[in-house]
Amino acid sequence: MATARLVLLCCCVAAALLAASCGGVAAGGRHGPKRHTHTRRLRPGKGGAAAAAGAAAKPYPVNATRVEAIERQFTRWVRFMGAPGHSSYNRALNRAILPARTLVVDKTPGAGDFTSIQAAVDSLPLINLARVVIKVNAGTYTEKVNISPMRAFVTVEGAGADKTVVQWGDTADTVGSWGRAMGTFGSATFAVNSMFFVAKNITFKNTAPMPKPGALGKQGVALRISADNAAFVGCNFLGAQDTLYDHLGRHYYRDCYIEGSIDFIFGNALSLYEGCHVHAIARNYGALTAQNRQSLLEDTGFSFVNCRVTGSGALYLGRAWGTFSRVVFAYTYMDNIIIPRGWYNWGDPTREMTVFYGQYKCTGPGANYAGRVQWSRELTDEEAKPFISLDFIDGLEWLKL
């Protein structure tokens, strides 16, 4: 009976993946949980059949690189797998019917099950339906790690963020194995493409040096997360330009330290940062966020609650990478490095009419709202409410730490 059940679940997974890759299945579900007003019908993957068909119909540009093609595939994957309860695959994952197991990674041969994190990941089934904890003992692991889309339920746990470090030094202009620059997407030291990922007490680092102002192709990602339902607790993210690629999906960051210079938290995820320390290392000008929301129909954005912003240089709270970019800071301490204007329109004044940039009860010398651009907002209690709890990311549905 157990074997038959497992086979059935695997068949459901394969069918879902095939449908997603063909772009022919809508992610919307009529029986999902009731959403609060500001997110209703707007979750990743909840645009209905027309939206799914439209996304699938967009042709690849003639000069598309392999990395761009992969990114589009991941985008369709996340939209399809969108939220718990909207597919047979998700229902199977949420049941977690198989027992958890633990693997140990240690740099010393024989001291653990593996000597590299990637080797531990590669040992997992291609379709993983059980929680697997990969304990990474103290040490610096110089390797590039990639977790494939179907290896869900992976936890990577270090011995402490100051003790366990995984690092690599690729940048956007690094030439990949196919002979082309890998781009920002491919530069990540640690890339996560699977759902229900958890990381605890570990440092993700991109060792590429800080680029000179205006340098091209020097983005170096420490971690990229391109899947739904991911949590990071007590982790460090270290880099310079484009440190944390908060790409797609719903994510939770708690008690993390994030360091960088320009756009060092960027992407189009729906993410809550709680109790995090954000530290700028910019020599001149820098920007904390570059959120990439492209449409009113996308319910994405970044919310920082009870955080600290410190560092060097002159820092924008955010730049409007996306036309409908959305970022909120609440109960956050801001050092005097914050540029009084606070926000930059990415050189496009029309974005001032479409972005959503807000502050709520922030403190510190950089939090003075009086000098902010007119198109940002000082939120009322009612306006701030949807952004300052786990409800912002539907965390009560999927987050179990």
Give residue-wise pLDDT tens across range 329-353: 999 999 999 999 999 999 999 999 9
Highest mean pLDDT among 3-17, 19-33, 46-60: 3-17
Calculate helix-pair angle for 2-22, 88-95, nearest 10 degrees: 140
Respond yes or no: is residue 173 known to be catalytic.
no
**Maximum distance among all Cα pairs of the chain, rounded to whole angstroms:** 66
Pairing of strands 139-142, 164-168: parallel
Q: Tell me: the pLDDT tens digits for 87-97?
A: 434 544 444 54
Calculate mean pLDDT across residues 22-40.
Answer: 34
Lowest mean pLDDT among 23-37, 183-197, 220-234: 23-37
- Confidence band for 178, pLDDT divided at 50, 70 and 90: confident
Left, alpha or beta for 20 (phi > 0: left; psi -120 to 50: alpha)?
Answer: alpha
Handedness of CA 364, 255, 239, 391 (dihedral sign): negative
Calculate mean pLDDT across residues 50-62.
Answer: 43
Q: Tell me: the pLDDT tens digits for 225-266?
A: 999 999 999 999 999 999 999 999 999 999 999 999 999 999
pLDDT value, residue 70: 56
Report the alpha-carbon distance of residue 380 to residue 367 in Å, rounded.
16
Q: Which of 170, 228, 246, 263 is catalytic?
A: 263
Report whether pLDDT(274) > 70.
yes
Which phi and psi angles does 373 have, rounded to 5°? -60, 150
pLDDT value, residue 105: 98
Report whether pLDDT(119) > 70.
yes
pLDDT value, residue 364: 97
pLDDT value, residue 10: 54
Report whether pLDDT(207) > 50.
yes
Please tell me which residue, 128 or 30, carries the higher pLDDT value. Answer: 128
Mean pLDDT of the chain: 83
pLDDT value, residue 132: 96
pLDDT value, residue 15: 45
pLDDT value, residue 84: 42
Tokens of 135: 């304990």
The residues, any chain, with a CB within 8 Å of residue 374's CB and separated by 6 or more, are: none
**DSSP letter (8 states) at residue 109:** T
Nearest CA among 191, 195, 193, 175 for reference residue 183? 175
Report the alpha-carbon distance of residue 18 to residue 16 in Å, rounded.
5
pLDDT value, residue 348: 95
Domains recognised in the chain with CATH numbers: 1-29+36-96 (no CATH), 97-398 (2.160.20.10)
CA distances (Å), origin 270, targets 21, 101, 156, 185, 225: 23, 30, 22, 18, 11
Lowest mean pLDDT among 25-39, 129-143, 158-172, 321-335: 25-39
> Is residue 12 packed enough to be buried (19+ CB in 10 Å), middle (13-18) or exposed (0-12)?
middle
Please tell me which residue, 211 or 102, carries the higher pLDDT value. Answer: 102
CA angle 314, 352, 380 (to 5 degrees): 85
pLDDT value, residue 28: 30
pLDDT value, residue 21: 37
